């Protein structure tokens, strides 16, 4: 895509102008529009489509959090990035579905990180909306050798996969099955079919994740019916985003 369209919203004129300047100077941004309050922003968003909204929280009348809640109900909601002077609303912001939370004054490198997430999501949505030529399903089942017999484990029965040297352990409700294949190769086959790499040694089925938990040392765990799967820091944000998109499309809870 040629670049993302962004709407910047802030009731403080100087802050709005600075945010617009930073966005226009950033690579990958095709257009920046500005709104001085949440109500004006809502009118613009009802009339035009934007890839992302960079949104202040504390505004008179309709707050940024309230506006974000309204936008989440749109058929094609924009990606939300909050830009605020207060750090106390981060949990609520991410709960609404924001992909990032920037503190003022905004640093160019943090803005670049947020825009990278926005661009990745926008490109993913565009690709999903474009018709694609039908392609054969990649590895809907894997052969498992045991006692001289071959059986097939269906991808839909696997809750998560665990690296074990040159093998992977497929965890299913019927048991654990060992397949000779590196986990990186399994990721290539299954990542486009509802699985996410969440750790150097684990793939998890998005639909098998019941909740995200914190472990005893501040890390994250993806809880499934067959146990907890560790989530590395580098994969945590992407997992949250993929779970959110899957929930919005009604793809969770079908197992």
Q: Are residues 68 and 170 in the same domain?
A: no
Q: What is the C-alpha separation between 20 and 23, in angstroms, rounded?
A: 5
135 within a domain of the structure (yes/no)? no
Question: CA–CA separation, 69 vs 114, rounded Å?
Answer: 20
Tokens 């004129």 identify what position? 13
Please report whether residue 255 resides in a domain.
no
The model's pTM: 0.53
Answer whether residue 59 is part of any domain. Answer: yes
- Radius of gyration of the CA atoms of the chain, in A: 21
Query: pLDDT tier at 135 (50, 70, 90 boundaries)?
Result: very low
Domain end residue (candidates: 79, 105, 129): 129
CA torsion, points 143, 147, 149, 155, in degrees to nearest 10? -20
Give pLDDT, residue 144: 85
For residue 181, give both structure tokens: 């294949």
What local confidence, expressed as pLDDT, does residue 216 receive?
80
The phi-psi region of residue 227 (left if phi > 0; otherwise alpha if psi is between -120 and 50; otherwise beta) is left
In a domain, 254, yes or no: no
Q: What is the mean pLDDT of residues 94-120?
A: 92
Assigned token pair, 244:
């959110």
- Determine the structural domain holding residue 110 and report its residue range: 4-129
Distant-in-sequence, close-in-space partners of 58: CB < 8 Å, separation ≥ 6: 64, 84, 85, 86
114 and 153, same structural domain?
no
Residue 102 pLDDT: 94
Domain count, the chain: 2
CB 140 within 8 Å of CB 154: yes
**Mean pLDDT value across the chain:** 89
Q: Distances from the Cα of 181 to the Cαs of 167, 223, 229, in angstroms?
A: 5, 25, 20
Domain CATH number, residue 40: 3.40.50.2300
| CB neighbour list of residue 25: distance below 8 Å, 6 or more residues apart | 108
| pLDDT of 150 above 90 | no
CA distance 227 to 205: 13
Clarify whether residues 14 and 113 are in a common domain: yes
Query: Is 16 within the bounds of a domain?
Result: yes
Rounded CA separation 195/204 (Å): 5
State pLDDT tens for residues 168-198.
999 999 999 999 889 998 998 898 889 999 9
Q: What is the pLDDT of residue 66?
A: 95
- 110 and 213 assigned to the same domain: no
Q: Is the pLDDT of residue 254 over 70?
A: no
Residue 134 lies in a domain: no
Q: Could you say which of 75, 108, 129 is where a domain stops?
A: 129
Instruction: For helices 64-71 and 38-47, give the axis angle rounded to 10 degrees.
Output: 20
Q: Strand pairing of 4-9 and 29-35?
A: parallel
Whether pLDDT at 136 is above 60: no
Q: Which residue has the higher pLDDT, 2 or 95?
A: 95
Same domain, 196 and 107: no
Residue 131 pLDDT > 60, yes or no?
A: no
The span from the CA of 253 to the CA of 243, in Å, is 11
Residues near 200 by beta carbon (within 8 Å), at least 6 away in sequence: 163, 232
More confident residue, 210 or 126: 210
């Amino acid at each position: 895509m040629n670049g993302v369209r962004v709407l910047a919203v802030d009731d403080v004129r100087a802050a709005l102008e600075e945010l617009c300047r930073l966005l226009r100077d950033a690579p990958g941004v095709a257009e920046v529009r500005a709104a001085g309050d949440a109500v004006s922003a809502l009118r613009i968003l009802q009339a035009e489509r934007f890839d992302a909204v960079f949104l202040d929280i504390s505004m008179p009348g309709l707050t940024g959090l309230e506006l974000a809640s309204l936008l989440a109900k749109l058929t094609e909601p924009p990606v939300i990035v909050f830009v605020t002077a207060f750090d106390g609303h981060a949990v609520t912001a991410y709960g609404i579905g924001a992909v990032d939370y920037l503190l003022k004054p905004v640093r160019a490198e943090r803005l670049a990180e947020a825009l990278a997430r926005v661009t990745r999501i926008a490109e993913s949505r565009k690709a999903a909306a474009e018709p694609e030529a039908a392609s054969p399903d990649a590895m809907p089942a894997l052969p498992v050798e045991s006692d001289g017999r071959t059986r097939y484990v269906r991808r839909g029965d696997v809750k998560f996969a665990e690296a074990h040297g040159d093998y992977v352990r497929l965890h299913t409700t019927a048991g654990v099955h060992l397949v000779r294949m590196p986990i990186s190769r399994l990721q290539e086959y299954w990542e486009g079919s509802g699985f996410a790499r969440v750790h150097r040694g684990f793939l998890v089925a998005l639909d098998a994740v019941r909740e995200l938990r914190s472990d005893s040392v501040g890390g994250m765990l993806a809880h499934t019916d067959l146990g907890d799967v560790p989530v590395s820091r580098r994969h945590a944000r992407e997992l949250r985003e993929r779970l959110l998109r899957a929930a919005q499309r009604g793809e969770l809870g079908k197992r």
